[in-house]
Amino acid sequence: MLYFVARRLFSALSVVLATLVVTFALFFIAPTDPAAAICGERNCTQERYNDIRENLHLDRPKVQQFAEYTAGIFAGRTFETSGVVQDCKAPCLGFSFKSNRPVTEMLASRIPVTVSLVAGYSVLVLTIGVFVGSMAAKRRGTTADRVLMSSTLVLSSIPYYIVALMISLYLTILYPILPRGGYTPLSESPGKWFAGLLTPWLVLGIYSCTQYARYSRGSMVETLSEDYIRTARAKGLSDRVVTYKHALRSGLIPVVTIFGLDIAGSLGGAIFTERIFDLPGLGNLVLSSLTTYDLPVIMGVVLVSSVILVTMNFVVDVAYSVIDPRVRLS
Amino acid sequence: MTAPANDASKGPQDAMVDTVPSEGGVTREQRNPAVASRERRTTAMSPSGETPYLVVEDLTVQFPTADGLVSAVNGLSYSVPLGRTLSIVGESGSGKSVSSMAVMGLHDRKRTRISGSIRLGGDELVGLSENELMKVRGDAVAMVFQDPQSSLHPLYTVGNQITEAYRVHHKVSKDVAKKRALEMLDLVGIPNPIRRFKQYPHEFSGGMRQRAMIAMGLVNDPKLVIADEPTTALDVTVQAQILDLLNNLQKEFGSAIVLITHDLGVVAEMADDVLVMYAGRCVEYGTAEDVLARPRMPYTWGLLESIPTVSAANERLRPIKGLPPSLLSLPGGCSFNPRCPYADRVKGERCTTDLPDLLRVDGAGAHTSRCHLHDKASIYEAEVAPRLG
């Protein structure tokens, strides 16, 4: 088990490292010159432009720049702009071109928003989605099962952002049944944190729950017909124990696999959700940075997203091996 | 389809000397368990002549499907005393597994119609609620399944599965259950039980897995063990070991065994009584000696003839020609008639029009068979026995 975790950890770190290289390359592939972007359009003289290039070390070899960027992340670094020295502490991702604030600081306030959103989403799909699917599998062929499954099909064939906009419009503004979206840090007020995120969670979660219900139903129908389920019943176990202990454990394996693949998608969904409910998360930040070519911020968001993604996938891998002991061997 | 269902108990010469009126067509829901228990009798005899523990009478199992009603088991009656083994023999789809699943109450209630009577130590099982059946399953009756590879849960340790089986029926702590499980693992001949307890089924070999399965089945000391082709998925060399194990455990626990198999070699080794099934009906029933040495039904002859022998190495195998009939549209008369090589020896069209009753072979004794042939004994002695060598 320990060996398994260590191996997965190693591969996770190499993915982060690769992302680091690729995002850094953005600096040079991007259709904008960073120095020109900082310099602005109006008061930019050749002298000032050269000055900025020199301060950002853009005139140095690319390998050295990368080394400095990477070193900044682990040890911090200093920037000197026209004689003013700015200290950038340990996980240094540079300064925003536009606001001149450290990127790390900008991200720090936004990561909890996106993480809250994705975590709530995960809890919803893995509980309600899986539970609904299991119930449908147990009652397969009945009217309830058919109604449930066809309604999930209808719901999941409407594009997500339309569902989100409609719910937001009808249920929080026109008929304020649900609280409006907003973000209050968890440490400040757990109640407000929950209330503000409830609608975004439901919107993002229920939409995916329909898909998870379908995956789980399919997987559970298959599992329930396994020989070892018959064995479990032959032991004299109750229907509930057979379904939610013996069948669900095997039935979860494909669902967890899909969940692992789906996490990237849920981060994408988070961008829409943050936009629609105006939550100050990473998605909103990256959208506004893209329009202003604020490269350090974009790089920062991509890097942090990849770390979130890799972490979640690592958790999924470990969860997978906890569910299925056979995974640890291979 | 439904009319002949009760003939086994209607027949005047019926083996069970049945005096209880037939209950064919009555479903579980309609039967009142209280009424049923008043009907309990202790006089029913098995072919080997002892008071039985399990008595199955006029059991009919039907599945409504989109294409019509499938009668998987039709008017089946048998009984097994404690300490004895009944072998149910037949091809795939003959209803041997379906009937024993009915004894365990493992069929999906919504999709199955069960009628007749299944009595365990005198208590009626047909008509019991799911909760009442749950208490019987795994406790008084245990089942050993065909393929231990797929019948053990792959994600739980063997020890976990055995202790679970014990704790369903015994309110004991995990430690007590573990002690019991280790005892059982040792009893079924698994070396190093303490290490094996913590392992998963995929870490066991086929034979060890089946031993673990048997340990799980017997952990509650059941009075009746239903073994559904317990050796089919195993290596030939391991098969004998597992059969020996079952035999020894039976001697130790004194339980009744229903052994479902299509392997007549297994039957010869294990069975006290034999019941041959074809297309959902009993076609021959008697002691192992009667059925194997003096079979009185062409289908049984066919089964015996299809066993390959070493001495006949250069001869072709003699299969029973044709395929088992679809249970949706059974042939008229005797279900076996389209495949029966002796059907033309019966006068008239009786084989295709009348379902033969399950009659006593010699007019006495408990050996019964379902066949219109008049001179079964002489045909067997003159034509079939020589071919068996």
Q: Based on the domain organization, do B102 and B167 belong to the same domain?
A: no
Per-run averaged pLDDT (10 residues), chain A, 330 residues: 84 88 78 73 78 78 83 80 72 81 89 90 91 90 86 83 84 82 84 89 84 92 94 92 93 90 82 86 89 84 88 86 78
Q: Are residues B177 and B111 in the same domain?
A: no
Q: Quote the pLDDT of residue B364.
A: 66
Confidence at residue A82, expressed as pLDDT on a 0 to 100 scale:
62
- What's the whole-number average pLDDT of chain A? 85
Instruction: Round to whole Å and give the CA distance between B186 and B192.
Output: 8
Find the CB nearest A323 among B147, B152, B155: B155
Regarding whether B187 and B272 lie in a shared domain, the answer is no
Q: Note the pLDDT of residue B81.
A: 94
Query: What separation, in Å, do the N-terminal and C-terminal C-alpha atoms of chain B show?
Result: 39
Same domain, B274 and B366: yes
Stretch B231-254: mean pLDDT:
88
Whether the per-residue pLDDT at B178 is higher than 60: the answer is: yes
Residue B42 lies in a domain: yes
Q: Is residue B32 domain-shared with residue B48, that is, in the same domain?
A: yes
A48 touches chain B (CB under 8 A): no
* Whether residues B207 and B227 fall in one domain: no
* Residue B192: domain span: 141-221
Q: Measured between CB atoms, does B137 come within 8 Å of chain A?
A: yes
pLDDT at A57: 79
d(Cα B195, Cα B204) in Å, to the nearest integer?
11
Q: Is residue B200 part of a domain?
A: yes
Residue B372 lies in a domain: yes
Furthest-apart CA atoms within chain A: distance in Å: 85
Same domain, yes or no, for B272 and B384? yes
Q: Residue B231: pLDDT band by 50, 70, 90 thresholds?
A: confident
Report yes or no on B304 lying in a domain. Answer: yes
Look up tokens 């990561």; give the residue.
Answer: A111
Average pLDDT, integer, range B322-335:
89
Q: Between these two residues, B35 and A78, which has the higher pLDDT value? A: A78
* pLDDT over 70 at B17, yes or no: no
User: Is there a single domain that holds both residue B115 and residue B158?
Assistant: no
CB B81 within 8 A of CB B53: yes
Domain assignment present for residue B136? The answer is no
Interface of B with A in 209-228 (CB under 8 A): 213, 216
What distance in Å separates the CA atoms of residue B83 and residue B389, rounded to the nearest whole number? 32
Q: Are A199 and A180 in contact (CB under 8 A)?
A: yes
Residues B301-311 have a mean pLDDT of: 83
Is A304's Cβ below 8 Å from some Cβ in B?
Answer: no
CA distance B337 to chain A (A): 35
Q: How many domains does chain B have?
A: 2
Residue B122 and residue B167 in one domain? no
The pLDDT of residue A134 is 92
Overall average pLDDT of the B119-135 stretch: 91
Domains of chain A: 32-88 (no CATH), 107-293 (1.10.3720.10)
Q: Is the CB of residue A324 less than 8 Å away from at least one CB of chain B? A: yes
Tell whether A226 lies on the interface with B, counting CB pairs under 8 A. Answer: yes
HEC-encoded secondary structure of A25-45: HHHHHCCCCHHHHHHCCCCCC
Contact partners, residue B308, CB within 8 Å, separation at least 6 = B317
- Residue B350 sits in the same domain as residue B206: no
∠ at Cα B268 (B263, B269), nearest 5°? Answer: 100
Residue B241 lies in a domain: no
Mean pLDDT across the stretch B328-352? 89
Model confidence at B19, pLDDT cuts 50, 70, 90, reads: very low
- How far is Cα A127 from Cα A100, in angstroms, rounded to an integer? 43
Whether B197 and B158 have beta carbons less than 8 Å apart is answered as: yes
Residue B177 DSSP SS3: helix
Q: How far is Cα B72 from Cα B279, in angstroms, rounded to an integer?
A: 7
Candidates A255, A297, A298; CA nearest to A105 is A297
- A327 vs B23, more confident: A327
Residue B265 and residue B365 in one domain: yes
- Mean pLDDT value of segment B308-318: 72
| Among candidates B134, B151, B168 on the partner chain, residue whose Cβ is nearest the Cβ of A231 | B151
> Which domain CATH number covers B27?
3.40.50.300
Strand intervals (E) in chain B: 52-65, 68-81, 85-89, 113-120, 123-124, 141-144, 224-228, 256-261, 273-278, 281-287, 359-360, 368-369
Lowest mean pLDDT among A232-236, A283-287, B106-110, B314-318: B314-318
Q: Which residue has the higher pLDDT, B255 or A49?
A: B255
Q: Which of B31, B36, B25, B40 is nearest to B75 (CA)?
A: B25
Residues B231 and B370 in one domain: yes
> What whole-number percentage of chain B has pLDDT above 90?
57
B72-103: pLDDT as tens digits:
999 999 999 999 999 999 988 899 999 999 99
Whether the CA torsion A167, A168, A174, A177 is positive or negative: it is positive
Please tell me the distance from the alpha carbon of residue A209 to that of residue A133, in angstroms, as a whole number. 9
Q: To the nearest whole angstrom, how far is the Cα of B388 from the nearest Cα of chain A?
A: 37
> Between A and B, how many CB-CB pairs are < 8 A?
65
Please spell the DSSP secondary structure of B46-104, one letter per residue.
-TT-S-EEEEEEEEEEEEEETTEEEEEEEEEEEEEETT-EEEEE--TTSSHHHHHHHHH
ipTM of the complex: 0.80
